[in-house]
Amino acid sequence: MACPVAGAASVELNPAVQPLNWLLGTWENDGPGEGSFPSIKPFHYTEKLYFSHVGQPVINFMFNAFHADSNKPLHRECGFIRMQPETNRVALIIAQNSGLVEIEEGELTGNQLNLQTQKLERISFAKEPHVQQICRVIQLRPDGKLEQTVSMATDKQPLTQHLHITYRRLS
């Protein structure tokens, strides 16, 4: 399911997020992504990303991940991307279906976002082990594909690569 917003296609992108225009559209995995972490069995997943705007100084996004073999829903993230005016500073505000809410901040360099956790909150009954840190790199490669690498630390494991996936643009 896309992020439908009535009339969004006819609204101009806010200049505050113009440097992020390369993200806009719908992206789908280009081959299964790879997930691993010391406390879980390695897995493959598929994912669709939706980046849209409604003319405000933010990019709206939604990520939907599924198990590659069973198509069982795995993970969802929704949120917003903001840029600090007249800088390359970027922030992601993210709500996850696992009960985690986070703020990641970092820098935009060319067509690459380098982000890391600034603030994490979770619901009181969130599953353990608890995530303590997330680092994320999203980049538009020269071949036009989008690539994302996510590293994670929990209260039981140090920062370790958790996810890696490449996407192709659908729209």
Domain ranges of the chain: 10-169
9 backbone dihedrals φ, ψ, rounded to 5°: -65, -25
pLDDT for 171 equals 84
Distance from C-alpha of 145 to C-alpha of 168, rounded to nearest angstrom? 5
Mean pLDDT computed over every residue of the chain: 94
User: Region 73-82: what's the mean pLDDT?
Assistant: 96
pLDDT at 107 over 50: yes
pLDDT at 127 over 50: yes
Residue found under tokens 């994912």: 47
Angle 17-19-25 (CA atoms, 0-180°, nearest 5)?
75
Give the bridge partners for 151, in sequence order. 135, 161
Strand positions, DSSP E, 10-140:
25-29, 33-37, 40-52, 58-67, 73-83, 89-96, 100-109, 112-122, 131-140
pLDDT for 6 equals 47
Distance from C-alpha of 104 to C-alpha of 82, rounded to nearest angstrom? 11
User: In this predicted model, what pLDDT tens digit does every residue of 12-40 receive, in sequence order?
Assistant: 999 999 999 999 999 999 999 999 999 89
User: Region 106-126: what's the mean pLDDT?
Assistant: 97
Residue 98 in 3-state DSSP?
Answer: coil
**Model pTM?**
0.91
User: Region 120-144: what's the mean pLDDT?
Assistant: 95
pLDDT at 2 over 50: no
pLDDT at 7 over 70: no
pLDDT at 62 over 80: yes
pLDDT for 8 equals 52
Cβ distance 3 to 139 under 8 Å? no
Q: May I ask the CATH class of domain 10-169?
A: mainly beta
Contacts of 47 (CB under 8 A, 6+ apart): 28, 29, 33, 63, 64, 65, 66, 165, 167
- 125: its two tokens: 């009954």
- Out of 6-15, 63-72, 75-84, 117-126, least confident range: 6-15
Residue 163 in 3-state DSSP?
Answer: strand
User: Region 91-107: what's the mean pLDDT?
Assistant: 97
